[in-house]
Amino acid sequence: MADTIELDVEARQVREGDVFILHGHERTANAAAWPVRPRGHVHIRFVGGGDAVILATRPLTVTRTAP
């Protein structure tokens, strides 16, 4: 199993494969976050379906595969 690291990032920095808690549920990003309207928000799709549009500056703690 690959080593992982835990990072505090803003939602705009979410990458494909990042695991994080959003609205009380563990989510895995299907792709990197990308900016959308309304201005200052990002769209994040989840592995297994579903998505969210949240503030780009929202703090998230993500688990990411170590480089």
Q: What is the tens place of the pLDDT at every residue in 7-66?
A: 999 999 999 999 999 999 999 999 999 999 888 999 999 999 999 999 999 999 999 998
pLDDT of residue 54: 97
Looking at residue 2, what is its pLDDT? 77
pLDDT for 33 equals 98
Half-sphere exposure of 54 (CA within 13 A, CB side): 17
Catalogue all structural domains in the chain, each as residue range(s) with its CATH number: 4-65 (2.30.30.30)
Q: Which residue is listed with tokens 């990458």?
A: 15
DSSP symbol at 30: S
- Residue 39 φ/ψ region, left for φ over 0, alpha for ψ in the -120 to 50 degree band, beta for the rest: beta
What is the model's pLDDT at position 66? 86
